[in-house]
């Protein structure tokens, strides 16, 4: 269940920090009863960004596979060796 707090609660920075680190998920902040901001720990943010990047790369790979834009593994390794090892 998402944690939702009013913006006035941001005055208690220690509690908000503790909450973000304990729950390991975003805390939604409301202003005048409407969603305004999202606060989360740096660790949670970095995990979410990394997961999003992985999902995006998997989707790209699946699209390439669907479109037939693939190469044999041996050829791909040869190309990588040539590019990175000279």
Split the chain (86 residues) into runs of 10 and give each run's mean pLDDT: 93 95 95 97 97 97 94 92 90
| pLDDT attached to residue 26 | 95
Q: Are residues 52 and 80 in the same domain?
A: yes
Write the CB contacts of 44 (distance below 8 Å, at least 6 apart in sequence): 20, 24, 25, 26
Q: Are residues 28 and 49 in the same domain?
A: no
Residue 68, SS3 per DSSP: coil
| pLDDT attached to residue 56 | 98
Q: Are residues 30 and 13 in the same domain?
A: yes
Closest CA to 25 of 10, 6, 41, 49: 41
Q: Which residue range forms the structural domain that includes residue 75?
A: 44-85
| pLDDT attached to residue 2 | 87
Q: Is this model's pTM higher than 0.75 or not? A: no
Q: Are residues 26 and 51 in the same domain?
A: no
Q: Are residues 80 and 50 in the same domain?
A: yes
Q: Are residues 53 and 67 in the same domain?
A: yes
Q: Are residues 58 and 30 in the same domain?
A: no
Q: Are residues 75 and 50 in the same domain?
A: yes
């Amino acid at each position: 269940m998402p944690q939702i707090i009013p913006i006035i609660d941001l005055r208690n920075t220690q509690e908000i920090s503790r909450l973000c680190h304990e729950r390991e998920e975003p805390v939604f902040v409301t202003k005048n009863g409407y969603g305004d901001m999202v606060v989360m720990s740096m660790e949670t943010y970095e995990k979410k960004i990394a997961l999003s990047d992985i999902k995006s790369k998997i989707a790209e790979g699946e699209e390439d596979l669907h479109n037939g834009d693939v190469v044999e593994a041996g050829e791909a390794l040869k190309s990588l060796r040539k590019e990175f090892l000279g």
